[in-house]
Structure 1
Amino acid sequence: MTTSLLLAAALAGFVYGITPGPGVLAVLGIGADQGRRAGAAFLVGHLVGDVLWTTLALVAIVGVTAVGSLVFDLLGLVSGLYLLWLGWRAVRAGRSAGGEAACARVRRPLLHGLTFGLTNPKAYPVAVATLTALLSAKAGLLTWAMLPALVGACCAGGFAAYLIIVGLVGAAAVRRTYRRHEILITRASGLMFIGFAAHAILHAAPGLMAPRRA
């Protein structure tokens, strides 16, 4: 286990935790309406789901890496295309006829955060896609023995992201900025997803295009 691999896993967990998606947009909405304490309660519940989906995503990633580089490259390509689709949807986000942003807001704290984190249908594929994109350069180093340390590093990165979110979400300036620029924030997150998509596809392409022995 190398320090660079742990740092890459922690960075992946941080990016997964802090990049605006359904959970982050939900906690921003809660913080804008109910304050920092309610937002923190939501994230505590949501963290349980993050640990579950991150663990399952890493199991899948290590598993396909153990099978062979071709399978991992295929996973990287699919993950990149999925992130590209998510990013494009976010970039094109608009407001509904009633004037509200297209993304849904969750307004109940701890229990709702737990339910949201465990049942969010996008959590697993986004975790797989994000972790694959950011760990692809280290794919050859991944083994089953590293799984507990990788999960711990990802969770540490996600927890750090949540501390930053909690620190920001209750601030009056953040509330005003979020209400005023919610669509812009969503579109900016879309551009980040597109960047990760490009990273994943660029790492997968050489392996997929390389000649293979019959």
Structure 2
Amino acid sequence: MTASMLAGAFLAALLYVLIPGPAFLALLGIGAGQGRRAGALFLGGHLAGDLLWATLAIVAIIGARTIGTTVFDVLGLVCGAYLAWIGWSALTARKRSDGGAVMTVERPLRRGLVFGLTNPKGYPVALATFTALLAGSANALDFAVLPMLLGVSFLGFLIADVILVTIIGAGLVRRFYRRHELAIVRLSGLLFVGFAVQAVWHAAPGLLGWRRA
């Protein structure tokens, strides 16, 4: 177990929650209309989905690593391409014409639970993000470190949720986001592109035979 591995899992979990996506936008709508408590309940339910997708992603990454570094490197390239696609989609996004109508959710906890467990992008985004940030520790990955990685990831999810709950109820934040939504989405696209570059950076040397034994 290395410090860089723990930091990678923690940061992947943190950014998985904080980077704007479908859940982030849903949370913003709930928080804007119903306040911090409703937003916290939504995130509490959504946490189950976060843990599920993170667990499956880390298991897949470790499984690929135990099979061989080549499989892990190919996985890194695929995930890098996926992240690049997400980033490009965000960078080329257009301003919405619906005006960002406020949502009203009667049971935000249940909504968050269903949203988190049924989000079709949950697993591929988690897989891509965790792969990009754990690739540098590929040689140390095995199933013995899985509980620790999940524990650190859980801590990252909780801290990210606390950060979001703290800010979503602020009127200034809501107004700022609505005014600059397109710019924020495009900045998140830049982050995804950065993760894509990092994933390819770690994967390419192994596939090209440049990695030291």
TMscore range, shorter length: over 0.9
Q: Which runs of 5+ in 2 are unaligned?
A: none
**2:80–2:197 contact (8 Å) kept in structure 1:** yes
RMSD: 1.8
Deviation at 1:95, TM superposition (A): 3.0
Q: Secondary structure of 2:180's partner?
A: helix
Residue 210 of structure 1 aligns with an amino acid whose one-letter code is: G
TM norm structure 1: 0.92
Aligned to 1:149: 148
- 1:17-61 CA distances to partner (integer Å, 9 max, x unpaired)? 111111112111221222111111110110000001100000000
**1:32–1:176 contact (8 Å) kept in structure 2:** no
- 1:173-214 CA distances to partner (integer Å, 9 max, x unpaired)? 1111112112221111111101101110111111111179xx
Q: Secondary structure of 1:95's partner?
A: coil
Alignment of 1:72-83 (within 5 A): 72-83=72-83
Alignment of 1:35-184 (within 5 A): 35-96=35-96, 98-100=97-99, 107-108=104-105, 109-184=108-183
Deviation at 1:94, TM superposition (A): 1.5
Deviation at 1:100, TM superposition (A): 3.6
- 1:60-107 CA distances to partner (integer Å, 9 max, x unpaired)? 0000000000000000000000000011111111134x4446xx9865
**1:106–1:112 contact (8 Å) kept in structure 2:** no
Rate the CA distance shift 1:202–1:2 in 2: closer, same or farther, 3 A: closer
Distance 2:26 2:177 in 1: 11
Rate the CA distance shift 1:14–1:35 in 2: closer, same or farther, 3 A: same
Q: Secondary structure of 1:20's partner?
A: coil
Aligned to 2:208: 209
**1:27–1:106 contact (8 Å) kept in structure 2:** no
TM norm structure 2: 0.93
Rate the CA distance shift 1:197–1:64 in 2: closer, same or farther, 3 A: same
Aligned pair count reads 209
Runs (4+) off by over 6 Å = none
Q: Secondary structure of 1:112's partner?
A: helix
Distance 1:176 1:95 in 2: 16
Distance 2:4 2:210 in 1: 30
**1:58–1:147 contact (8 Å) kept in structure 2:** yes
**2:33–2:103 contact (8 Å) kept in structure 1:** no
- Matched-pair identity in %: 56
Aligned to 1:186: 185
Rate the CA distance shift 1:204–1:29 in 2: closer, same or farther, 3 A: same
